[in-house]
Amino acid sequence: MWYKERTKLWHDRNLRAKNLQVGQKVLLYQSRLKLMPGKLKPKWTRPYVITSIRSNGAVEIRGSSPNSEPFIVNGHRVKPFRDSSELCVVEEISLRTPALSSN
């Protein structure tokens, strides 16, 4: 019993809250699609747009095209999509110091 309680506390501490908003792009986890078994099959599919968020944790999403039909999925099956435009510019710093000449 102690082990179970401690494990639950550890998992609860390490949960990350998802901040989903209407209009945000998300990726959908395809757990049911098993047409091609194997390691190289992508599990997260194309970006979808959130149209509404329900109080019970369900999320209504639709495809990127305007004529796609919206559908409802569990909020645990989506994760935020990061565009390449959101990437930051990183400055490279050399760790090697120039050799000092001793005279």
Q: CATH number, domain at 77?
A: 2.30.30.140
Average pLDDT over residues 20-39: 76
Residue 85 confidence (pLDDT) above 80: no
Please tell me the predicted confidence (pLDDT) of residue 59: 92
CB neighbour list of residue 48: distance below 8 Å, 6 or more residues apart: 25, 26, 27, 28, 61, 62, 63, 64, 78
d(CA 26, CA 62) in angstroms, rounded, equals 10
The total number of structural domains that make up the chain: 1
The pLDDT-based confidence of 103 (bands split at 50, 70, 90) is low
Please tell me the predicted confidence (pLDDT) of residue 29: 85
- Domain assignment present for residue 89? The answer is no
Sign, Cα dihedral of 46, 47, 48, 54: positive
- Domain assignment present for residue 36? The answer is no
The pLDDT-based confidence of 36 (bands split at 50, 70, 90) is low
d(CA 74, CA 77) in angstroms, rounded, equals 6
